[in-house]
Structure 1
Amino acid sequence: MTPQRPPTTPAEGQRVTPEALREKYESGATVDELVATSGLSYGTVLNRLHDAGTVMRTSWQTRRMRQDPQARQRLAARLRTLYEQHGATLTELAATAGETRRGARRLLIEAGGTVRTTQQTQRMRAAARAAERYKVALSLRARYEAGATVPDLAKEHSYSVATVYRLLHQAGTPMRPQHSHGPAHDTRERP
């Protein structure tokens, strides 16, 4: 039978909360260090970190964090830029950072970013696609006004002729008159 450890409790008024443990852990402390400073068992520390929604690091992530304390801040700032200026999703941020979605979200918030809803992200991406399409439409307009034909533009850009017409219309392009391929019609009245 293994001897029981005498229970150690923090001083009166210094209850160890899950949030306090999470804050220390996220600032670089290891679970072993939290066990030593809190007087709690290893399992209790892990449970409280889990209750606080803490994303656990691997040992190499802890080493990397300790080698360069500014690395986390730089990573968080980079993720915020990708998220806000380029419309990246949390899943894309997680892949970039080598983190989980929750970890990427936390880094984003640490950098002062605010998390978008899925609908906001979809609207943002739709607006970006619309802006890109408008650029294409303006480019097609310039080529059309320089003398290119609609079928030539469709072939160059791998679009259908209908798509080219729609994009030209969106760009407000004045269209050239269509050619009549039949016999010339005399529109004068005959006596």
Structure 2
Amino acid sequence: MTPHPPATSDASKAVTPQSLRRQYESGATVEELVTASGLSYGTVLNRLHDAGTTMRTSWQTRQMRQNPQARRRLAARLRTLYEQHGATLTELATAAGETRRGARRLLIEAGGTVRTTQQTQRMRAAARAAERHKLALSLRARYEADATVPELAREHSYSVATVYQLLHQAGTPMRPQHHHRPARDMGRRP
């Protein structure tokens, strides 16, 4: 079973090269843009290039971040990732190019409250459940528009059993199954 449905091309097109450039020029790193946008590293680089962005070295980024305003922007960005997207301190550290301790310090500077591991796990489980429910409802809509269960399974790279489970979860009224007899038995009565 695939944990998440594949990203649609519409979602990736919503992140424009110009918006990536504005974020990068305000102090975001390529890694932060990857984390925030959900795009691949290469796609982010290509879109920054398409927007005519002048790229920084890691040294220039560090110098920029020593600027108090840039540090506040970074801290606010990390808080958003942490609170709205459920990122862990390790993920924040990666996004900020910091240690876990440095990411934690920035999060607290931005007014964030550090979660326990259990709180993070519950938050992520709730997000997965919401995503699964959303998928179940979209499968139901396609099924009610006359798609078959095997077609839905192929489209989403799920097993037929998983599609049935998701349809059941969405409360889908199932169509009756057709039982076909062999052609030679069609004319006979028992």
Question: In which range does the TM-score fall when normalised by the shorter chain?
Answer: 0.5 to 0.7
Q: Could you tell which deviates more after superposition, 178-187 or 125-134?
A: 178-187
Partner of 2:112: 113
- Residues 58-73 of structure 1 correspond to what in structure 2 (within 5 A)? 63-66=63-66, 68-73=67-72
Residues 1:125 and 2:135 are matched in the alignment: no
SS in 1 for 2:158: coil
SS in 2 for 1:178: coil
Partner of 2:135: 136
Partner of 1:158: 157
Distance 1:65 1:154, change over 3 A: closer
Alignment deviations for residues 26-47 of structure 1 (CA, whole Å, 9 cap, x no partner): xxxxxxxxxxxxxxxxxxxxxx
Q: Which amino acid aligns with 1:119?
A: Q
Distance 1:165 1:62, change over 3 A: closer
Q: Which amino acid aligns with 1:89?
A: T
Distance 1:160 1:61, change over 3 A: closer
Partner of 2:55: none
Counterpart Cα distance in 1 of 2:76 and 2:189? 72
Shift in Å, 1:62: 7.3
Distance 1:186 1:142, change over 3 A: farther
Partner of 1:145: 144
Shift in Å, 1:60: 7.5
Q: Which amino acid aligns with 1:111?
A: A
Shift in Å, 1:132: 0.7
Counterpart Cα distance in 2 of 1:61 and 1:147? 54
Q: Which amino acid aligns with 2:160?
A: V
5+ unaligned residues in a row in structure 2: which ranges? 1-58
Q: Percent identity?
A: 80
TM-score by length of 2: 0.62
5+ unaligned residues in a row in structure 1: which ranges? 1-58
The count of corresponding residues between Structure 1 and Structure 2 is 128
Alignment deviations for residues 122-172 of structure 1 (CA, whole Å, 9 cap, x no partner): 111111111111111111000100001111111111110000000000111
Partner of 1:29: none
Supply the RMSD in Å over aligned alpha carbons. 2.3
Shift in Å, 1:64: 3.5
SS in 1 for 2:113: coil
Shift in Å, 1:180: 1.6
TM-score by length of 1: 0.62
Shift in Å, 1:65: 4.5
